[in-house]
Amino acid sequence: MKIVGYFEGTDSQLLTKIVASGFCTLPLANEWDGHGKNASHIEPGDVDLIIGYLHKLLPPLRECEDKSTKTITMGVDIHRGFRPIDLLYPAKAYNIPVLVVVPSEYKEEAKELLGEAAEFAIIVSPSDLEKKVREILEF
């Protein structure tokens, strides 16, 4: 039986359709919110597909040194140097498809934020997510 790993916030109606169609689901966690099984610890056979919104794959911003600054940019020094590729490396190593949910108009920004992970992750709009899941799981 195929298992879909999902990050917190994934559409519950879609997850229900997946389960009703005979598949299992497994909540996944990033390094900083602890929602489920840590995605960076996935082993072969744990999941057959990973779904998550872009923000769940990006570490929280580091504390800004200048307290008067309203915004800061992401960098590799955030959350102990963690990057999306670090979280998703097992997916790359074990050829597990990764669907990153991002509104269409932010696709290019998402690629930039994902860095190396953009080489294998599939960026999909919320409106196309179910179609892509059905295509990958073949149901």
Tokens of 87: 């979280």
- Tens digits of per-residue pLDDT, 77-93? 444 567 999 999 999 99
What domains, with CATH codes, occur in the chain?
3-137 (3.40.50)
pTM of the model: 0.86
Distance between CA atoms of 9 and 46, rounded to whole angstroms? 20
- Tens digits of per-residue pLDDT, 16-66? 999 999 999 999 999 887 778 999 999 999 999 999 999 999 987 654 455
Q: Please classify residue 83 by burial: count the beta carbons closer than 10 Å to its beta carbon, then call 0-12 exposed, 13-18 middle and 19+ buried.
A: buried
The candidate with the shortest Cα–Cα distance to 58, out of 33, 23, 36, 41, is 33
Beta strands at 49-53 and 3-7: parallel, antiparallel or unpaired:
parallel
